[in-house]
Amino acid sequence: MMRQSQEWFLERSREMVNLRGVLALLSWDQETLMPPRGSSLRAQQSAMLAGLYHEKLTEPQWADVLEELEDVNSDPWISASVREMRRQHQRAVRIPESLVRELAETTSLGYHVWVDARRRSDFGLFVEPLEKIVRLKREEARCLEFSGSPYNALLDEYEPDMTTTELDALFSVLRPKLTDLVARIGDSVVEPDSSVLQGDFPRPEQEAFGRRILTAMGFDWEAGRLDVSAHPFCSGFSPMDVRITTRYAEESFASSLFGIVHEGGHALYEQGLGVDHFGLPAGDSISLGIHESQSRLWENQVARGRPFWDYWYPYLKETFPGRFDTVSLDDFMPAINQVTASLIRVEADEVTYGLHVILRYELEKSLLEGSLAVRDLDQVWKERMRDYLGVVPEQSSEGVLQDTHWSQGLIGYFPTYLLGNLYAAQMFQQAQRDLPDLEQLFGSGELRPLREWLREKVHVHGKIFSASELIHRVSGEPLDSSYFLTYLETKFGDLYAL
């Protein structure tokens, strides 16, 4: 009976992983290659398979099988898998189908209204749909059950075990210190000249340089691809097939290059999950925050650092002949690390980025808890931007309407972006302790030792440890925002002569 349950569990889990892989391929193809007229069929295909996935996840038999397997399993991969499936199954069965359908319809419509509202920069158009989305998400949280804030129920989807209590503690320390650092940088006499990054950078050379760096990072080309899409992303169908995308702008190489490194960091995590436990629910990444830590660490701690460019700058010069003849590495480093209090999150630098996230977190939590009305959102957004970053959007399209997340019902997602930065800084300081010659290695182009360290410390563990257990195991301490702050203070204190 136990054996039967375990077989059922393993077979069903494997089917669901396969379905997720197919859904990911449908989506990847849609974003990269699909001819435009294919979209309506693709939507039908995806909806059908998503429905099938939901059916499999909510089968009544799960309850018995999970109960039977829960306490008796000595294999940590099986017990972590049982734990994970219980979480997923419970989330799925607790939300009634009528609510699932209403949310799907409302967000589908909401997305289209948001596109239109942003185009016209008219927040008023978006008020009613967003009110409905917030109401439905509150209902979803109620169905899911929670302790403390209803926000916790939503957060759990993206960052399991994280709570508003912990986020509030982390962010309330961070916010004033980030605001202060941004202000001090604003007052600095140092003014990086980022115009050296502008020019004519042919796409084939950009791509070749990006591929070269991915190879040096240890990206396995036998188990992955690099393609082009409007919005860069990483999609892991399995550790044996991980695909990243970028977009190229010929007038600037930087956004594509750092984008490739960022997605490459995600991809190393997916490839590093390994094949041994693939197909088990526990053989997957642990949380969005940990996932984001892998991309941020490679993008910021590594590829925006001096040791990295000590090695790669000559190759950059070689790739774009003549472009950097008069630009020394001492000029180049500030240019790729310029800090500017600006309106748009996705264009923000390492220092200001966190404030964009905290602002969104505070607002969406208040919306969900009922202490902020949707109709006041535009105004409050502007006030907070002034308080935190000292800039105020004139247009709602550059303010509250800039991100798509809320229109799609993604509430509880934003904090994972900043958590990624915190995890990354804390992991990286530990990597520097464990590998004392890390910077020398970077300086001689050796990036793989870091990949090996991350693989051993993070990637191979899948969902065996929760995110908080994982960061504790890696660094010997719970998550602490001071590592991120120290990293920023040191790096930007230096660059801006603070």
Give min distance, CB of 253 to its own copies, in A: 23
- Rounded distance between C-alpha atoms, residue 85 and residue 82, angstroms: 5
Report if residue 19 touches its own copies, rule: CB under 8 A.
Answer: yes
Q: H/E/C letters for each residue in 1-56?
A: CHHHHHHHHHHHHHHHHHHHHHHHHHHHHHHHCCCHHHHHHHHHHHHHHHHHHHHH
Stretch that binds its own copies, among 97-105, 218-226, 345-353, 453-461 (CB under 8 A): 218-226
Is residue 410 within 8 Å of 471, Cβ to Cβ?
no
Taking the least distance from each CB to its own copies, the nearer of 46 and 194 is 46
Is residue 86 within 8 Å of 66, Cβ to Cβ?
yes
Give min distance, CB of 18 to its own copies, in A: 5
Per-residue binding string, its own copies, 272-301, x by CB under 8 A, is ------x-----------------------
Site for its own copies in 329-358 (CB under 8 A): none
Q: Which one is catalytic: 263, 270, 299, 350?
A: 263
Give min distance, CB of 271 to its own copies, in A: 9
Stretch that binds its own copies, among 14-22, 84-92, 101-109, 363-371 (CB under 8 A): 14-22
Give min distance, CB of 338 to its own copies, in A: 36
- β-strand pairing of 224-228 with 234-238: unpaired
* DSSP string over 424-493: HHHHHHHHHHHSTTHHHHHHTT--HHHHHHHHHHTGGGTTSS-HHHHHHHHHSS---THHHHHHHHHHHH
Stretch that binds its own copies, among 18-26, 131-139, 281-289, 375-383 (CB under 8 A): 18-26
Give min distance, CB of 238 to its own copies, in A: 5
- β-strand pairing of 241-246 with 234-238: antiparallel
Taking the least distance from each CB to its own copies, the nearer of 224 and 393 is 224
Report if residue 21 touches its own copies, rule: CB under 8 A.
Answer: yes
Angle CA(57)–CA(58)–CA(60) in degrees, nearest 5? Answer: 125
Indicate the SS3 state at residue 269.
Answer: helix
Alpha helices (H) in 72-150, listed in sequence order:
76-94, 97-120, 123-144
Stretch that binds its own copies, among 13-21, 99-107, 122-130, 200-208 (CB under 8 A): 13-21
According to CB under 8 A, which one of 63, 70, 75, 221 is a site residue for its own copies? 221
Report if residue 215 touches its own copies, rule: CB under 8 A.
Answer: no
3-state helix, strand, coil in the chain (%, to 5): 70, 5, 25
According to CB under 8 A, which one of 150, 160, 192, 224 is a site residue for its own copies? 224
According to CB under 8 A, which one of 10, 25, 92, 392 is a site residue for its own copies? 25
Indicate the SS3 state at residue 180.
Answer: helix
Give min distance, CB of 49 to its own copies, in A: 7
Report if residue 13 touches its own copies, rule: CB under 8 A.
Answer: no
Stretch that binds its own copies, among 26-34, 300-308, 311-319, 401-409 (CB under 8 A): 26-34
Strand partners, 238: 241
Q: Residue 493 has which token pair?
A: 């204190």
According to CB under 8 A, which one of 120, 203, 212, 225 is a site residue for its own copies? 225
Site for its own copies in 30-89 (CB under 8 A): 33-38, 40-42, 44-45, 48-49, 52
Report if residue 15 touches its own copies, rule: CB under 8 A.
Answer: yes
Report if residue 241 touches its own copies, rule: CB under 8 A.
Answer: yes
Report if residue 14 touches its own copies, rule: CB under 8 A.
Answer: yes
Count of residues near its own copies by CB under 8 A: 34
Q: Residue 480 has which token pair?
A: 């602490």
Report if residue 108 touches its own copies, rule: CB under 8 A.
Answer: no
Active-site annotation holds for 263: yes
Give min distance, CB of 160 to its own copies, in A: 25
Give min distance, CB of 28 to its own copies, in A: 9
Contacts of 232 by beta carbon, 8 Å cutoff, 6+ apart: 244, 245, 246, 247, 259, 262, 263
Give min distance, CB of 38 to its own copies, in A: 3
Neighbours of 281 (CB within 10 A): 27
Which pairs count as long-range contacts for 433-442, CB under 8 Å and 24+ apart, including other chains? 439/305, 439/307, 440/307, 442/302, 442/305, 442/307, 442/308, 442/310, 442/311
Strand partners, 252: 198, 249
Report if residue 460 touches its own copies, rule: CB under 8 A.
Answer: no
Nearest to 388 by CA among 185, 184, 181, 175: 175
Catalytic residue IDs: 263
- For binding to its own copies (CB under 8 A), which residues are involved? 14-15, 18-19, 21-22, 25-26, 29, 33-38, 40-42, 44-45, 48-49, 52, 220-225, 237-238, 240-241, 278
